[in-house]
């Protein structure tokens, strides 16, 4: 039985993740070979929360495959503003499109949609919970740059409490051998308890929690910076106090290995100074580009078009 929806990063087996990444890398080399594979197919992008990269990279991915796209980019522009439930919306969209990417501020909304949908649902970010396609983007970038997903020391820095990209990436990376995590955040923004207990401790994964970026920087193969998630805070004062806890600049980069890579799911606010952009170790714009190739591979996988031989 093939997977129908992608709601959590764990919905894909490690083998399936590896296949999608390998297909994404193949597409990157020869994109023209895949330019017609989704002809006649439609992707619906239902975005109830702001997005630039995720929505547009999904749309670019479907257009690159020869398919078409439809959808909305804010809840206000949809019948959600009139009180329609996600369940009703998806029942209808199922007859308009072949596959759907959904972003929603409420944790679990794409999962609910999947219960009522007859087309594959992809979670494009649900509240502070999961963001599995950003994780695929992160994994394909690491694989391309390092040639492996195992034996790495990765520092995750910033808002580890509300950052859904971090939650999904931890869940995905613990399935590879010898991945060590350095979790760098202010005390108020450490990872949720369920990740610490049920994922890291239960899996006997090596990790350190710290608020000291400089001390750990020299050990890292990858530094994954994140934005403090203003929209998930209960009060503005806390956000203002914590928003600039970590700022990566050229001086700090001198502490890092020559082969360390700086990643960021973007958008960035202040957490990476623009002077770092010119450092060859800054790979966040490449990462955003890789998101298109891996989403092309994912769409093919969910529509079971990845079994068609491509010469
Ligand atoms: C992230 C998200 O939406 O969670 N952005 C993205 O999808 N590339 C990270 C963020 O908003 O900080």
> Which residue, chain included where needed, has tokens 């709601």?
7
241 is catalytic: no
- Please give the distance, rounded to the nearest whole angstrom, from the Cα atom of residue 277 to the centre of ligand 1: 19
Token representation of residue 112:
């609910």
Q: Name residues contacting ligand 1 (CB within 6 A).
A: 53-54, 125, 131, 134, 164-165, 227, 265-266
53 is catalytic: yes
- Please give the distance, rounded to the nearest whole angstrom, from the Cα atom of residue 184 to the centre of ligand 1: 18
CB 302 within 8 A of CB 99: yes
Q: Cα(90)–Cα(86) distance, rounded to whole angstroms?
A: 6
DSSP helix/strand/coil, 167: helix
- From residue 310, alpha-carbon distances to 27, 30, 37, 297, 305 in Å are 10, 10, 9, 13, 10
Please give the model's pTM, rounded to 2 decimal places: 0.96
DSSP state at residue 149: S
Taking CA atoms only, the protein residue closest to ligand 1 atom 8 is: 265
Q: Cα(178)–Cα(149) distance, rounded to whole angstroms?
A: 9
Q: Cα(150)–Cα(133) distance, rounded to whole angstroms?
A: 19
DSSP helix/strand/coil, 97: coil
DSSP helix/strand/coil, 153: strand
Q: Using N-to-C axis directions, what is the helix angle for 284-302 and 14-29, rounded to 10°?
A: 110
Nearest 10 degrees: CA dihedral of 194, 196, 185, 10?
-70
At 1 the pLDDT is 55
Query: Catalytic pick from 42, 104, 129, 131?
Result: 131
At 19 the pLDDT is 97
Q: Cα(117)–Cα(91) distance, rounded to whole angstroms?
A: 6
- Please give the distance, rounded to the nearest whole angstrom, from the Cα atom of residue 8 to the centre of ligand 1: 16
268 is catalytic: no
Cite the DSSP H helix spans in the chain.
14-29, 53-64, 86-93, 109-116, 132-146, 164-173, 193-194, 213-216, 236-242, 250-253, 284-302
At 279 the pLDDT is 98
- From residue 9, alpha-carbon distances to 64, 122, 164, 184 in Å are 24, 10, 11, 22
At 77 the pLDDT is 86
- Please give the distance, rounded to the nearest whole angstrom, from the Cα atom of residue 26 to the centre of ligand 1: 26
Query: Catalytic pick from 5, 42, 55, 103?
Result: 103
54 is catalytic: yes
- Please give the distance, rounded to the nearest whole angstrom, from the Cα atom of residue 224 to the centre of ligand 1: 13
Taking CA atoms only, the protein residue closest to ligand 1 atom 12 is: 227
At 132 the pLDDT is 98
Task: Give which of 244, 246, 247 is closest to 274, Cα–Cα.
Answer: 247
At 81 the pLDDT is 87
- From residue 197, alpha-carbon distances to 162, 192, 204, 205 in Å are 17, 9, 10, 11
129 is catalytic: no
One pLDDT digit (tens) per residue for the chain, 311 residues: 554 899 999 999 999 999 999 999 999 999 999 999 999 999 999 999 999 999 999 999 999 999 999 999 999 988 888 999 999 999 999 999 999 999 999 999 999 999 999 999 999 999 999 999 999 999 999 999 999 999 999 999 999 999 999 999 999 999 999 999 999 999 999 999 999 999 999 999 999 999 999 999 999 999 999 999 999 998 999 999 999 999 999 999 999 999 999 999 999 999 999 999 999 999 999 999 999 999 999 999 999 999 888 87
The three-point CA angle 142-283-48 to 5° equals 85
CB 134 within 8 A of CB 54: yes
């Amino acid at each position: 039985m093939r997977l129908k929806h992608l709601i959590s990063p764990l919905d894909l087996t490690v083998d399936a993740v590896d296949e999608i990444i390998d297909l994404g890398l193949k597409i990157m080399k020869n994109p023209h070979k895949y330019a017609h594979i989704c002809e006649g197919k439609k992707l619906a992008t239902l975005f109830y929360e702001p997005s630039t990269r995720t929505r547009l990279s999904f749309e670019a991915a479907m257009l690159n495959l020869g398919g078409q796209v439809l959808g909305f980019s804010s809840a206000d522009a949809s019948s959600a503003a009139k009180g329609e439930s996600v369940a009703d919306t998806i029942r209808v969209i199922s007859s308009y499109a072949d596959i759907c990417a959904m972003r929603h501020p409420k944790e679990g909304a794409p999962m609910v949609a999947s219960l009522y949908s007859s087309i594959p649902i992809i979670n494009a970010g649900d509240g502070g919970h999961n963001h599995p396609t950003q994780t695929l983007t992160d994994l394909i970038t690491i694989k391309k740059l390092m040639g492996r997903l195992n034996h790495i020391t990765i520092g995750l820095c910033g808002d580890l409490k509300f950052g859904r990209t971090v939650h999904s990436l931890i869940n995905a990376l613990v399935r590879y051998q010898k991945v060590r995590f350095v979790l760098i955040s202010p005390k108020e923004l450490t990872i949720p308890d369920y990740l610490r207990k049920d994922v890291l401790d239960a899996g006997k994964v090596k990790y350190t929690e710290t608020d000291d970026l400089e001390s750990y920087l020299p050990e890292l193969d990858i530094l994954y910076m994140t934005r403090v998630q203003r929209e998930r805070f209960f009060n503005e004062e806390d956000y203002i106090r914590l928003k600039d806890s970590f700022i990566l600049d050229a001086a700090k980069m001198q502490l890092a290995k020559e082969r360390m890579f700086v990643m960021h799911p973007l958008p960035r606010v202040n957490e990476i100074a623009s002077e770092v952009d010119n450092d060859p170790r800054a790979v966040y714009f490449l990462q955003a580009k890789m998101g298109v190739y891996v989403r092309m591979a994912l769409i093919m996988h969910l529509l079971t078009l990845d079994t068609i031989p491509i010469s």
